[in-house]
Structure formats: structure tokens, C-alpha cells
Amino acid sequence: MSAARKKVFYNRVRRACMKHGFEIEYQGAPPKTYSAVELVKDGSVMFADRSNDGRPLNIDWERLYNEMLKWLRGDGR
């Protein structure tokens, strides 16, 4: 995914989080060595992207946005 495309989806996730009361929580050292990103609402992790191999995470903002959108719409698909 290109950097411009990642930025588009990061901004969509950030705006949706602000609108619907989610918090974006990062784990790891900023900015290039995050091991996880979690979207948290009322103390519960609703969506997450984590590194399983101990390497820095390449955050898939598009997947997080699509999962959040599906949940907000109430789609079970």
C-alpha cells in the first residue's frame, strides 16, 4: 500500500474514531516500531492490528477502517 493511500485510510479511521468515541492506542516505541495499534471504546478493544513476529508493525489502516465501518453499520457479513 502506498504512503498516500495509508494516509487516506489513517485519516478516515481517525475521523471515525473521533465521531464515534473510539480511542487509538499504540503499543511500542513511536513512530516506526509500533508492535500493535488498538481501537478502544469504553475500555474494550474493538479492533486491533498486531505484530506476531516481534517485528515493527506495518499498520493496515484500510482493513481497520473496513472492519470498523462494517461494525458501525451492523453488517454481519
Residue 64's pLDDT band (cuts 50, 70, 90): very high
**Residue 76 corresponds to which amino acid?**
G
Helix, strand or coil, per DSSP, at residue 23: strand
pTM as predicted: 0.86
Determine the pLDDT at residue 29.
Answer: 83
Nearest to 27 by CA among 18, 15, 19, 39: 39
CA-based torsion, 66, 69, 70, 71: positive or negative: positive
pLDDT digits (tens, 9 = 90+) for 6-59: 999 999 999 999 999 999 999 988 877 899 999 999 999 999 999 988 788 889
